[in-house]
A and B are shown apart, each in its own frame.
Chain A
Amino acid sequence: MTYIARTIGVTKAYGGTEVVSDVCMNIRQGEIYGFLGHNGAGKTTLMRMLTNLVKPTAGEIELFGEKLTPHSYEVLKRMGSVIEYPFFYDGLSARENLDLHCEYMGFPDKKVIGAMMEQVGLKDTGRKPVREFSLGMKQRLGIARALITTPELLILDEPINGLDPAGIKELRDLLKRLSAEYRITLLVSSHILGEIEQIADTVGVIRGGRLIEEVSMERIRGQHNEYIELRPTDVRKAAYVMEHLLGLSNYKLVGEHTLRVYDPGVSPSELNASLVRYDVAIESIFKRAHSLEDYFMNLMKGGGDVA
């Protein structure tokens, strides 16, 4: 397995407070890595560390198989990024910004600028300074800038911020195409699960600076996530009956009146019948599938009630 980027126990502390703690992240070649976490969870700091803007307090970063040091410069040629907010020399036009970027990156092929501007829908901005662009336009220009030098690793921090629904769809398609056709490895962060879920191959969840989960979407989708939710009139009695008389131990109390039963192979009707036999009245009972959303929301919030 080839890793494009790895962090090994990376920690960043500001004045004694850790904003990123002991993160071990593994980004495989060619995949789309979705980086999920609330605002302030440490996503941006980690991405800054990957682009060498911020130095880790402890731990190591490996990019393209080589250790990243404060003096690594060559490796930056192989990366493109938009971190936190698309910043530009805002007195200059979109084309001038892209042109300067190519010069600094040492990328000779200026012909791609026009094509790239067309691709992100900024072809008609002419001499208009970037200062007058909307956030959505800046976001597109930022992506154009990150992409224009055909990087092997593309790092995008909250790329859908400021985009309208049509723009989001376009971006999603673009990212998928970059991954599928050009084999570009992508690290995309978001606090919106729906976005990550639709494009990512692997999801990393960060909370309070810790990477609490790193899992392939395939595996999550395959996980057994069904349960039965019931509201008995007497929760205690129901729990006692289930545990001691029916032999169902994999259940959980949710709120004050609701029970969730995770044991496989039990149908709601059977459970209902058995409980009634032991004189437990049931107000409602139904079968539920755990959505991915629940799964991640729980992780992000820090709840543990996931089977």
Chain B
Amino acid sequence: MLKLISLELRKYRFARHIGYAALADLAILLFLTLLGLTDYGAEDYAYATYPESFMLIDTFVRATFMIFAGALISRMIVGEYRNKTVSVLFTYPIKRRKLIAAKLVIIFVFTFGMILFTDVLMGFVLVAVDRFYPFIADSLTMEQVRVLLLEYTVSSLSAAAMSLIPLLFGMRKHSVTATMVSSILLVLIVDSGFSRPLVSINSIIAIHLSLGAAGLWIAWLSMFRLEMKDVN
């Protein structure tokens, strides 16, 4: 499996995606900074408290990398069908399920890793900046940090899992557009729950976990019956 993963990474010159991710991180940082500067002093200031600030960060980071995952699915899975290279790939003496699994593992791990990394990085920046130029009302306890790390991990895992949902729509007609549209819609649906007082934290978590489970289920299904399907 590791061998297949490394072949996939070579095939798509995956290193460059890390460069793109770094660019995305810069964009997120810029956006979060602007939000902090322009809104300063407003009644519903986005960085009013630490918990709110961390949630804001997580929302943006998740949105960015879930769409990023959609692009990876388009390129590495849907693209393989569209460019018909799948008719070469599936004549290799390797189980088709494993070939697809290698791709899914890459997308999942990359999305999870990037979200968690960026969450922590931005959180760190936030805390550091607040040290020097205090703008957040409350202060941070070690206990909160521990809870936060756990929350970020769960959030990254569920986001990485649910970003596989677009596979279901993208693979219908092997369409890049359908993949991207469904991944953007997914982000809109999931992240619109943020900051709405009607939705409780618990229900958000429930939604995330069930969507994440759905994503994993879809990924799981996509690996089966591949041998029975025709490749045209």
Q: Is the CB of A104 within 8 A of B231?
A: no
When the two chains form the complex, which single residue of A53, A71, A103, A106 contacts B231, counting CB atoms closer than 8 Å?
A53
Q: A96 CA to B10 CA in the complex, in Å?
A: 9
* Apart from A73-B94, A105-B93, A106-B93: 9 A-B pairs, beta carbons within 8 A: A53-B91, A54-B232, A85-B84, A87-B87, A89-B85, A90-B83, A101-B88, A103-B3, A104-B94
Output the nearest chain A residue to B8 by Cβ-Cβ distance. Answer: A100
Q: Is B132 an interface residue (CB 8 A)?
A: no
When the two chains form the complex, which single residue of B11, B228, B230 contacts A92, counting CB atoms closer than 8 Å?
B11
Can you identify 27 A-B contacts, CB atoms within 8 angstroms? A48-B230, A51-B91, A53-B90, A53-B91, A53-B230, A53-B231, A54-B230, A54-B231, A55-B230, A70-B227, A70-B228, A71-B227, A73-B93, A76-B91, A76-B93, A77-B93, A85-B84, A87-B85, A89-B85, A90-B83, A91-B13, A96-B10, A103-B7, A104-B89, A105-B92, A105-B93, A145-B88
When the two chains form the complex, which single residue of B83, B85, B87, B95 contacts A73, counting CB atoms closer than 8 Å?
B95
Inside 8 A of B11's CB, which chain A residues have their CB?
A: 89, 92, 100
**Known pairs A100-B10, A100-B11; A88 contacts B85 (CB<8 A):** yes
Q: Is the CB of B92 within 8 A of A104?
A: yes
Inside 8 A of B227's CB, which chain A residues have their CB?
A: 70-71
Q: Is the CB of B87 within 8 A of A53?
A: yes
Inside 8 A of B95's CB, which chain A residues have their CB?
A: 73
Count residues of chain A with CB under 8 A from any CB of chain B.
32
Output the nearest chain B residue to A80 by Cβ-Cβ distance. Answer: B91
Q: Is the CB of B87 within 8 A of A74?
A: no
Count of chain A to chain B residue pairs whose CB atoms are closer than 8 Å in the complex? 63
Output the nearest chain A residue to B80 by Cβ-Cβ distance. Answer: A89
Q: Is the CB of B93 within 8 A of A84?
A: no
Q: A12 CA to B232 CA in the complex, in Å?
A: 13
Inside 8 A of B87's CB, which chain A residues have their CB?
A: 48, 53, 83-84, 87
Output the nearest chain A residue to B227 by Cβ-Cβ distance. Answer: A70
Distance from A28 Cβ to chain B, minimum over Cβ atoms (Å): 23
Q: Is A179 an interface residue (CB 8 A)?
A: no
Q: A100 CA to B8 CA in the complex, in Å?
A: 9
Q: Is A150 an interface residue (CB 8 A)?
A: no
Q: Is the CB of B94 within 8 A of A87?
A: no
Q: A105 CA to B7 CA in the complex, in Å?
A: 12
Inside 8 A of A48's CB, which chain B residues have their CB?
A: 87, 230-232
Q: Is A52 an interface residue (CB 8 A)?
A: yes
Output the nearest chain A residue to B99 by Cβ-Cβ distance. Answer: A104
Q: Is A11 an interface residue (CB 8 A)?
A: no
A69-119 interface with B by 8 A CB criterion: 70-71, 73-77, 79, 81, 83-85, 87-92, 96, 100-101, 103-106
Q: Is the CB of A87 within 8 A of B92?
A: no
Q: A15 CA to B227 CA in the complex, in Å?
A: 19
B48-70 interface with A by 8 A CB criterion: none
Q: Is the CB of A76 within 8 A of B88?
A: no
Inside 8 A of B10's CB, which chain A residues have their CB?
A: 96, 100
Inside 8 A of B88's CB, which chain A residues have their CB?
A: 87-88, 101, 145
Output the nearest chain A residue to B228 by Cβ-Cβ distance. Answer: A70
Distance from A39 Cβ to chain B, minimum over Cβ atoms (Å): 16
Q: A22 CA to B133 CA in the complex, in Å?
A: 80
Q: A91 CA to B13 CA in the complex, in Å?
A: 9
Output the nearest chain A residue to B4 by Cβ-Cβ distance. Answer: A104
The digit string for B23-47, where 1 denotes a CB below 8 A from any CB of A, is 0000000000000000000000000
Inside 8 A of B230's CB, which chain A residues have their CB?
A: 48, 53-55
Q: A91 CA to B95 CA in the complex, in Å?
A: 25
Inside 8 A of B91's CB, which chain A residues have their CB?
A: 51-53, 76, 79, 81
Distance from B171 Cβ to chain A, minimum over Cβ atoms (Å): 17
The digit string for B92-135, where 1 denotes a CB below 8 A from any CB of A, is 11110000000000000000000000000000000000000000
Q: A46 CA to B90 CA in the complex, in Å?
A: 16
Q: A73 CA to B89 CA in the complex, in Å?
A: 12
Inside 8 A of B7's CB, which chain A residues have their CB?
A: 100, 103-104
Distance from A251 Cβ to chain B, minimum over Cβ atoms (Å): 48
Q: Is the CB of A76 within 8 A of B232?
A: no
**Known pairs A48-B231, A100-B11, A104-B7; A76 contacts B85 (CB<8 A):** no
Inside 8 A of A89's CB, which chain B residues have their CB?
A: 11, 85
Inside 8 A of B84's CB, which chain A residues have their CB?
A: 85, 87
Q: A70 CA to B93 CA in the complex, in Å?
A: 12
Q: A89 CA to B94 CA in the complex, in Å?
A: 18
Q: A74 CA to B92 CA in the complex, in Å?
A: 9
